[in-house]
Amino acid sequence: MNRYSNKVVVVTGGTSGIGLATAKAFASEGAQVYITGRRQETLDSAVKSLGGSVTGVRGDMSQLADIDRLYDVIQQRHGQIDVLVANAGGGDFAPLGEITEQQYEETFNTNVKGVLFTVQKALPLLKDGASVVLTASTTSVKGTPAFSVYSATKAAVRNFARSWILDLKPRRIRVNAISPGLTETAGLNTLFGGGEQAEGTKNWLSEQVPSGRIGQPGEVASAILFLASDDASYINGVELFVDGGLAQI
């Protein structure tokens, strides 16, 4: 398939995991892809692995000046964006009683403030009829011990999709949320303590998933490409779960 020939696509947090797989999938279908991440070295190696049609712009999406820099580059080169995937995000465990102000601010700044201004500042560049995909999580609708701050950010992201389709109605810009379940990424492995500890946790959790396994980043990427494409032309404001059924039981 070549659904994205000559389309300009932005994937924030595109240097690892779900974002990297998404950037790769868009590039393989002909898009000009822009990815972001905070770490220059990781950004450089992602760009190298993805090939010629992918450009890296280093930036922290919780910083408005960094978002401006990203869009300045795209303004100069293309003057427009066809698809925006606001994917940069992450979180840590802390039970109520041990949540710190710093953890709250870091998580909300990236996952909520970052997503909000990534989309708002893209508006002058987004074409009428463009597609926006926000990376939420199954935690938007589930309770998870010691994960309330992260989960609350993803509930906020899910509502952004519902509300923004009304704000963007005159421009026919579709906004959908993608909600991955457990997905095999560096971010998940770090969250679970890395190494053998992470493997043990993932094995235990796999048994709770109706599909019997953890998802792969490419499986989330396929769903993002579908939502962003004309195949999903009448799909607007939904939360699409890519979770092996975990949030459906």
Residue 127 or 247: the one with the smaller Cβ distance to ligand NAP is 247
Distance CA 53, CA 35 (A): 11
Q: Is 90 helix (H, G, I), strand (E, B) or coil?
A: coil
Query: Which member of 4, 7, 8, 16 binds ligand NAP (CB under 6 A)?
Result: 16
120 three-class SS: helix
Residue 242: Cβ within 10 Å count: 19
Give the separation between CA 189 and CA 90, rounded to whole angstroms: 12
d(CA 248, CA 212): 14
Which amino acid, one-letter code, is at 28?
Answer: S
Q: Which stretch binds ligand NAP (CB under 6 A): 25-33, 75-83, 121-129, 181-189?
A: 181-189
87 binds ligand NAP (CB under 6 A): yes
The distance of closest approach from Cβ of residue 26 to ligand NAP in the complex, given in angstroms and rounded to an integer, is: 15
Closest approach of ligand NAP to the CB of residue 36, in Å: 5
Shortest distance (Å) from residue 46 CB to ligand NAP: 7
Q: Which is nearer to ligand NAP, 37 or 244 (CB)?
A: 37
Tokens of 96: 């109520």
Q: Which of 131, 151, 183, 236 binds ligand NAP (CB under 6 A)?
A: 183
Q: Is 222 among the residues that bind ligand NAP (CB under 6 A)? A: no
Q: In what order do the strands lie in the sheet with 8-11?
A: 54-58, 32-37, 8-11, 81-86, 126-135, 174-180, 239-242
Query: Quick check: 42 binds ligand NAP (CB under 6 A)?
Result: yes
Q: Residue 18, interface with ligand NAP (CB under 6 A)?
A: yes
| 86: its two tokens | 């606001």
48-56, long-range: CB < 8 A, 24+ apart: 49/20, 50/20, 50/23, 50/24, 51/27, 53/27, 54/23, 54/27, 56/14, 56/15
Q: Which of residues 118-177 bind ligand NAP (CB under 6 A)?
A: 135, 137
236 belongs to the binding site for ligand NAP (CB under 6 A): no
Does the annotation mark 150 as catalytic? Answer: yes
Catalytic residue among 4, 34, 71, 150: 150
Sites of contact with ligand NAP (CB under 6 A): 12-19, 36-39, 42, 60-62, 87-90, 110, 114, 135, 137, 180, 182-183, 185-188
Active site residues: 150
